[in-house]
Structure 1
Amino acid sequence: MVNSTIRKILAITSTTGAVGAAGGLALAAWGWSELRKFQLHEYTVPLLEPGTLGIGKLGGGASGRKNDFRILHISDLHMIPGQQTKIEWVSQLADTKPDLVINTGDNLSHLKAVPEVLRALGPLLRVPGFFVFGTNDYFAPRPVNPFGYLLAKKRKVSKVELPWQGMRAAFLEHGWLDATHTRREIKVGPVKLAVTGVDDPHHDLDDYSRVAGPPNERADLALALSHAPEPRVLDQFAADGYHLTLCGHTHGGQLCLPGGRAIVTNCGIDRERASGLHRWKNMYLHVSNGLGTSRFVPFRLFCRPSATLLHIVEKPAYPS
């Protein structure tokens, strides 16, 4: 009798394990297939003073448009050789006709990926742009347990250096500007920009003292860049009066619950602001879902890879 009961328990356990394994494989296959289902998110943000774009004036507006200034935000490419679908999708983002491109880092995930990054970004490098890097631009990813991602523990960087210097040189050669620990002021179309940024604060590479202080008050639009949306850095940008901060790093949660609800953010930002456009004190904050993943965790659940087009428009002109 006892032996019969044991055999039944073992049979049930074996069946349950087989069903669980099959379900796990199906979930992994689905998560892997989501990596190539890219999306473009769009938001309209009223940040410019009335008249900045020359609306209603002959020849006014950015790049011949009269109603918006377009910022294309890309982040977390995590490129490895052979990702042709990603290269083609990112390249066609030039068709959105951005006025400015912002790249918030983690472009690389492989020692030989720089040419692939430049192929993907090629048409966008002809557009004015700014960038900051993330830790995975400097160091290769490490093998991890895919489900360890859900434990929300900071992972140590590897000791394998990536060829970020050559990638940075290529960005600069094409006209993009490095915003890391510097303050930049340029004019793009009719819009006067003040831009600053810090190195990746998730691994304490930032030094805010090098860029501290309010942006030029004559700037029409003050932008701050950081790879990771760590609250201590966001608080400093907000206190100094920046209008909009752009970040990446979170992958939108990457392995999410239905509805894109993040389980973890892999940094200090709250789960509700793991991706998308939000308010942070007196400024706007945009956190990108990102376009890739670590090559050792090649899955996304309820969180497709994306880029974002931000339509910066004039504030409503209210009568006095």
Structure 2
Amino acid sequence: MSKPSSVAAAALGVAAAAGLGAFAWGSLVERNWFRVRHEVLPVLDPGARPITVLHIADLHLAPWQQRKMDWVRELARLEPDLVVNTGDNLGHTDAYDALEYAFEPFAGVPGVFVNGSNDYYGPHFKNPMRYFTAPSPAGKAAVHLDTARLEGHFTDQLGWLSLNNTARAMSIKGSRIEFFGTNDAHRNWDRLGDLPGAIETVRENVDWADGRSGVDTLSIGVTHAPYQRVLDSFVNNGADVIFAGHTHGGQVRVPGLPALVTNCDIPRDQAQGLSLWHNARQTAYLNVSAGLGTSIYAPVRFACRPEAVVVTLTAGDIGYS
């Protein structure tokens, strides 16, 4: 009678060892196993020079994470023409100096950014099981962060443009690009009704330096959390490409399967990577980054390496399927 119980005990022991091994891998190795994902999008006018876009998301930086800071600094060697930052940069109440150090090499590189809720409030513990039932709720006693310092560094020291519920435009390597974005939709801070007016204002007032007529303008939408209402609105407003983060790619995944959770309402198979977003007979490329960090209260990744994304915009006809 003791043999079945011995077998069960051995099986439980193997399962426990496997679980501990997976946690050790995810917390000690994979969480710091940064990678660069590369994508190519043929969205520019024929004959246009390629544009290298560096997409940075969900850094969740803490002041002791020197390896992450140094890795981000090394990304400058990729010589991006544009940086797109989709928010949740801060991961600790005392990470401002660390963040400024990490982004220092990108001063003078054109960039745009939107905020995530972790750019306003410090992290706090959340029950990870709740992510399987609904997107995470707002914290009741979160610490307010110095968002003005964060945004001031981005705009004044780096020269980046804020896209929080607004639109902007710039010319890069001869291509005309208009941008529009939202503040964090996860906290319902998006103001989608303001976008059409903001976009129209940019189009009426932009003074393209090249003076050429008949040149198409590329439209890029930027948001932190890729809720469907935001993606639909971006497509309706003419976005050709959309950048988002927030999902962490699911953070802990089963190899070969879609994300188990997304922390928003995007389909699980679009929680990381490049895909197409369709709405009202219109389509845009959607790039969702798995991000570079985790909450300091959930420092583990499994089958979902932290990433920055390099998207090369090239000339060519857009063919959606």
CA contact (8 A) 1:141 1:294 kept: yes
Asked if 1:164 is matched to 2:159, the reply is no
Q: Quick one: distance in 2 between partners of 1:258 and 1:183?
A: 38
Deviation at 1:21, TM superposition (A): 3.3
> Match of 2:40?
44
3-state SS in 1 of match to 2:103: helix
Asked if 1:31 is matched to 2:13, the reply is no
Structure 2: runs of 5 or more not aligned: 205-214
CA contact (8 A) 2:45 2:216 kept: no
Asked if 1:244 is matched to 2:241, the reply is yes
> Match of 1:180?
164
Deviations 1:31-74 (A, max 9, x none): 112011111011110111213x2xxxxxxx4xxxxxx1111100
Q: Quick one: distance in 1 between partners of 2:184 and 2:317?
A: 36
Deviation at 1:315, TM superposition (A): 1.1
Deviation at 1:77, TM superposition (A): 0.1
Aligned ranges for residues 111-260 of structure 1 at < 5 Å? 111-157=93-139, 158-174=141-157, 175-212=159-196, 216=203, 220-259=217-256
3-state SS in 2 of match to 1:98: coil
CA contact (8 A) 1:252 1:262 kept: yes
- Give the number of the structure whose alpha-carbon radius of gyration is greater: 1
Q: Quick one: distance in 1 between partners of 2:154 and 2:163?
A: 12
The one of 66, 73, 85 aligned to 2:55: 73
Q: Considering only aligned residues, what root-mean-square deviation do their CA atoms show, in Å?
A: 2.2
Shift of the 260–41 alpha-carbon distance from structure 1 to 2, 3 Å rule, reads farther
CA contact (8 A) 1:40 1:308 kept: yes
Aligned length: 298
What code does the residue aligned with 1:24 have? Answer: G
TM-score w.r.t. length of structure 1: 0.87
> Match of 1:268?
265
3-state SS in 2 of match to 1:126: coil
Q: Quick one: distance in 2 between partners of 1:133 and 1:8?
A: 58
Deviation at 1:118, TM superposition (A): 1.4
Structure 1: runs of 5 or more not aligned: 54-60, 62-67
Q: Quick check: 255-264 or 201-210, which moved more?
A: 255-264
Q: Quick check: 10-19 or 125-134, which moved more?
A: 10-19
